């Protein structure tokens, strides 16, 4: 995240530099009480209100010209129930930091994405995920949340209202600002990551078997060489140890928050477009992606394509709502042309029933998204109750979540 002063104004940009905000107000509350006080003093002219964490998102969900609220100081562990394997944590806590805090209580997150510098509130709010045939989005950990509304009032969402909880699990910050989240966790265990190099056709032939045999499995396809790096992560001593016909690249063991994320400190900034495909459609989709990239984009795109399995869930706006999915992620260096590449590839994903990742680049709007989510109207009803005046809805979010009805 970058911040700079321009007279009395502050500009904010995301990690890749493709999203730049010039908010009228910039709030950096040191604690929850100050956040509530600050929001209670805002007038509608100060809306819309958007919360930001570390700025890893590259979609318009973080764009705002009203009030920008940093959760960077809302960090730390609040309480732990070791017996129930639950912990309450402040929403601005980064994933690696959270992993370290939970380690001292012999607990861990069920999974991580590739970036451990994200905040837990942002990861939950956007449906961030890792990989694993039986592992769901990180948002599935959420069992309770405290949110502050536009008037500074505190709302609690928990298992006593399952519908609201399912809405809060992937809410894009539209229900209020997360201050604390309570998570369902797992007993701590060291993990081991093994990486192998193999030709693409061989990788595809082994895909289903490797996904079943390993707790976490993904594959990185390199379009210029047309080969694949396979990555398996398991509790130490488990899963695939050797792979005939493949070359072992790396073995690394240790704490999950150190071993699983591989992009946290990457020096090269990139843009990303990802779609979640139905489990029975991803192979046909990948075949078209592979052919199209090699025929049209091989000369300008050298970044790998990431393929991951994600278990289905019941969060109302989760890209994995209602069934298992396989995600395909495209990457391009942020200093090179990316828009035409993504625009050309997105129709392939849509042709196969893909849902875009909320926090990554895509060109869809509410008219196209609504038919993809059977609980779309149910989410809108929850949002209408918790934010009836649309204080947290900037223009990009209205484009994503609301079919044009003529309202300002």
pLDDT value at 294 more than 70 = yes
Average pLDDT of the segment spanning 37-53: 95
Run of H or E including 67:
strand 67-70
- Say what the pLDDT of residue 114 is: 81
Give how far the C-alpha of residue 112 lies from the chain's centroid of Cα atoms, to the nearest Å. 10
Name the DSSP class of 120.
Answer: H
- SS3 at position 294: helix
- Say what the pLDDT of residue 8 is: 39
Mean pLDDT score of the chain, rounded to an integer? 92
- Say what the pLDDT of residue 43 is: 95
| Structure tokens that stand for 264 in this block | 């946290």
Cis peptide before 48, with omega less than 30 degrees from 0?
Answer: yes
| Structure tokens that stand for 285 in this block | 């989709």
Convert the pLDDT of each residue in 201-243 to its tens digit.
Answer: 999 999 999 999 999 999 999 999 999 999 999 999 899 999 9
| Structure tokens that stand for 8 in this block | 């009395």
The sign of the dihedral angle between the CA atoms of 75, 76, 81, 82 is positive
- Say what the pLDDT of residue 7 is: 34
Domains of the chain (ranges; CATH) run 191-356 (3.40.462.20)
Name the DSSP class of 110.
Answer: S
Give how far the C-alpha of residue 165 lies from the chain's centroid of Cα atoms, to the nearest Å. 18
- Say what the pLDDT of residue 6 is: 32
Q: What is the pTM of this model?
A: 0.94
Q: What value, to the nearest 5°, has the Cα angle with vertex 255 and ends 71 and 104?
A: 65
Average pLDDT of the segment spanning 169-198: 97
- Say what the pLDDT of residue 263 is: 64
- Say what the pLDDT of residue 11 is: 78
pLDDT band with cut points at 50, 70 and 90 for residue 58: confident
Contact 231, 217 (CB under 8 A): yes
C-alpha–C-alpha distance, residues 342 and 361, integer Å: 8
C-alpha–C-alpha distance, residues 50 and 131, integer Å: 29
From first CA to last CA, the distance across the chain in angstroms is 30
Q: Encode 205-223 in three state secondary structure.
A: HHHHHHHHHCCEEEEEEEC
Average pLDDT of the segment spanning 191-209: 97
Convert the pLDDT of each residue in 334-391 to its tens digit.
Answer: 888 899 999 999 999 999 999 999 999 999 999 999 999 999 999 999 999 999 999 9
Contact 293, 329 (CB under 8 A): no
Convert the pLDDT of each residue in 153-172 to its tens digit.
Answer: 999 999 999 999 999 999 99
Q: Which is higher by pLDDT, 163 or 298?
A: 163
- Say what the pLDDT of residue 10 is: 66
- Say what the pLDDT of residue 404 is: 63
Convert the pLDDT of each residue in 83-138 to its tens digit.
Answer: 999 999 999 999 999 999 999 999 999 998 888 889 999 999 999 999 999 999 99
DSSP 334-393: TTS--HHHHHHHHHHHHHTT-EE-TTS-----HHHHGGG-TTHHHHHHHHHHH-TT-TT-
C-alpha–C-alpha distance, residues 353 and 366, integer Å: 15
C-alpha–C-alpha distance, residues 305 and 364, integer Å: 21
pLDDT value at 1 more than 50 = no
- Cα-flanking dihedrals φ and ψ of residue 164, to 5°? -65, -40
Which range (113-122, 269-278, 304-313) has the least confidence?
Answer: 113-122
The sign of the dihedral angle between the CA atoms of 171, 49, 354, 16 is negative
According to DSSP, the residues that pair with 88 across neighbouring strands are: 79, 182
């Amino acid at each position: 995240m970058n911040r700079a002063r321009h007279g009395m104004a502050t500009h904010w940009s995301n990690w890749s530099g493709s999203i730049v905000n010039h908010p009228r107000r910039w709030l950096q509350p040191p604690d929850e009480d100050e956040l509530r006080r600050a929001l209670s003093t805002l007038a509608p002219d100060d809306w819309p209100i958007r919360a930001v964490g570390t700025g890893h998102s590259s979609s318009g969900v973080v764009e705002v010209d009203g009030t920008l609220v940093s959760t960077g100081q809302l960090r730390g562990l609040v309480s732990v129930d070791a017996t129930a394997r639950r912990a309450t944590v402040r929403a601005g806590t980064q994933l690696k930091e959270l992993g370290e805090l939970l380690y001292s209580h012999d607990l861990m997150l069920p999974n991580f994405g590739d970036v451990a510098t994200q905040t837990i509130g942002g990861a939950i709010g956007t449906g961030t995920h890792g990989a694993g045939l039986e592992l769901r989005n990180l948002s599935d950990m959420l069992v309770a949340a405290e949110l502050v509304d536009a008037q500074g009032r505190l709302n609690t969402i928990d298992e006593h209202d399952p519908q609201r909880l399912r809405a809060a699990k992937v809410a894009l910050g539209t229900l209020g600002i997360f201050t604390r989240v309570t998570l369902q966790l797992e007993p701590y265990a060291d993990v081991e990551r093994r990486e192998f190099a193999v030709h693409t056709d061989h990788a595809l032939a082994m895909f289903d078997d490797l996904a079943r045999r390993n707790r976490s499995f993904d594959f990185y396809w390199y379009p210029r060489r047309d080969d694949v790096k396979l990555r398996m992560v398991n509790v130490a001593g488990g899963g695939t140890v050797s792979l005939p016909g493949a070359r072992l690249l790396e073995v690394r063991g240790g704490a999950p928050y150190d071993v699983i994320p591989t992009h946290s400190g990457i020096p090269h900034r990139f843009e990303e477009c990802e779609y979640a495909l139905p489990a029975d459609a991803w192979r046909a989709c990948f075949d078209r992606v592979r052919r199209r990239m090699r025929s049209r984009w091989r000369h300008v795109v050298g970044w790998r394509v990431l393929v991951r399995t994600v278990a289905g869930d019941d969060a109302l706006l989760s890209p994995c709502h209602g069934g298992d999915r396989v995600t395909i992620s495209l990457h391009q260096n942020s200093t090179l042309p990316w828009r035409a590449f993504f625009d050309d590839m997105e129709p392939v994903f849509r042709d196969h029933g893909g849902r875009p990742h909320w926090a990554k680049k895509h060109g869809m709007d509410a008219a196209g998204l609504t038919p993809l989510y059977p609980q779309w109207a149910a989410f809108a009803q929850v949002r209408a109750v918790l934010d009836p005046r649309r204080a947290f809805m900037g223009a990009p979010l209205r484009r994503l979540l609301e079919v044009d009805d003529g309202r300002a």
